Amino acid sequence: MGKIVAGVGSSHVPSIGVAFDQKAQQDPEWRPLFDGYKPAKAWLKEIGVTHAIVIYNDHGTDFFFDKYPTFAMGAAEEYPIGDEGWGVRDLPAVKGDIDLSWHLANSLVKESEFDLTICQEMVMDHGLLVPMPLLFDHEPDWSVKTIPFSVNVLRHPLPTPLRLWKLGRALRKAVETYPEDARVVVVGTGGLSHQLHGERFGHMNEAWDNEFLDKIEEDPESLLEIPHDEWMERGGAESVEMMMWLGMRGALTSKVNKIHRNYYMPMLTGMGITVLEDEQSAPAA
C-alpha cells in the first residue's frame, strides 16, 4: 500500500543548480546552503523513500503565459531535462511511474474534484531539478521515481493557499489508496523571500522567512487565509510561490515531527529547507 513517509519544503533557486553543477559546494558562500541539505538526504535514504511527488512551478520551460494550467501532473515513464538558456544540465532524465501517476490522477479528479492537466510529455526545469540532486542519489540514475506536479503561481488568477492545502489532503488520500508498495515523500518547492524585478528588486525579508518556516511546521492553517498581495508584500512578488509548501504540509498530519531545518540568506533570496514527518499518534485533519 502507498504511504506518505515524509514532507520536504525546499527552495528552488536556479543559482543553486548552477553552483551544484560547477562543484562549488565547498565554496564559502555556498557551503552553508549545501551542508544544510546533507542531513535531509541521508534521512530520506535511511527511511527508504521510493517515490517523490514534487510540487513546483514551471518557469517558461514547458508552459508559458499563452497556456499555463492551474494544476498539471506528469504521467510518463521519464521526463527530459530542459534547457533554460545555459545548456542542459548533466543529470539523468527524471524517472516517472505511470501506474502511480494515473492512480493519483483518477483519485484527484474523480474523488477530490481537482481539475488537472495530465501530461504524458513534460520537460523539467529548475523548479523541480534544483532540489532533486540535493535530496536523492542520481548517479548513475535516480534513486526514486518522481511525479512532477506543476502549479501556476505566475499568471493571475492564482490558486489560493487554501486550495494548495486541499491539494495536499487530496494527495494523501490518493497515495493511501494506491494498492502497490510506495514510500512517498511530498516535496513542496519555491521561495523563500525574493523579488527579481521592479523598484523592489532584491527585496528580502529574513524575519518573514523564519516566521513562515515556524508556521509551516507548527501552525500551517494560519497561512491559509493570507491573500496573494500580502504574500508578495511581505516576501517580494515572486515569493508567492511559497504557497506550494502548503501542498506538502497538507499531505501530513496536523501535528508533525521536525527532522531537520536549515535557513540561509547569502544573496538575492532567502533559501530554506525543512523536513517533516507525521506525528505518529496524530490522525490527519
Q: Is the pLDDT of residue 222 over 60?
A: yes
Out of 194, 203, 228, 260, the active site residue is 194
Percent of the chain with pLDDT over 90: 79
> In the structure, what pLDDT confidence band is assigned to residue 239 with cuts at 50, 70 and 90?
confident
The average confidence (pLDDT) of the chain is: 93
Q: Is the pLDDT of residue 203 over 80?
A: no
Nearest to 159 by CA among 285, 247, 254: 247
What pLDDT is attached to residue 233? 82
Task: Give residue-wise pLDDT tens across range 226-237.
Answer: 998 888 788 677
Nearest to 81 by CA among 73, 69, 71, 93: 93
Give the span between the Cα atoms of 276 and 274, in whole angstroms.
7
Q: Is the pLDDT of residue 119 over 90?
A: yes
Q: Is the pLDDT of residue 283 over 70?
A: no
Q: Which residue has the higher pLDDT, 135 or 64?
A: 135
Out of 126, 138, 156, 228, the active site residue is 126
Question: Which residue do the cell numbers 508556521 mark?
Answer: 215
Q: Is the pLDDT of residue 265 over 50?
A: yes
What pLDDT is attached to residue 223? 96
SS3 content of the chain, % helix, strand, coil (to 5): 35, 20, 45
Q: Is the pLDDT of residue 253 over 70?
A: yes
> In the structure, what pLDDT confidence band is assigned to residue 282 with cuts at 50, 70 and 90?
very low
Q: Is the pLDDT of residue 135 over 70?
A: yes
Q: Which residue has the higher pLDDT, 195 or 277?
A: 277
Q: Which domains does the chain have, with CATH numbers?
A: 2-278 (3.40.830.10)
Give the span between the Cα atoms of 75 and 120, in whole angstroms.
5
Task: Give residue-wise pLDDT tens across range 32-88.
Answer: 999 999 999 999 999 999 999 999 999 989 999 899 999 999 999 999 999 988 889
Task: Give residue-wise pLDDT tens across range 174-197.
Answer: 999 999 999 999 999 998 987 877
Q: Which residue has the higher pLDDT, 198 or 224?
A: 224
Q: What is the DSSP string of 125-142?
A: -HHHHTTHHHHS--SSS-
Q: Is the pLDDT of residue 111 over 70?
A: yes
Catalytic site includes residue 203: no
Catalytic site includes residue 156: no
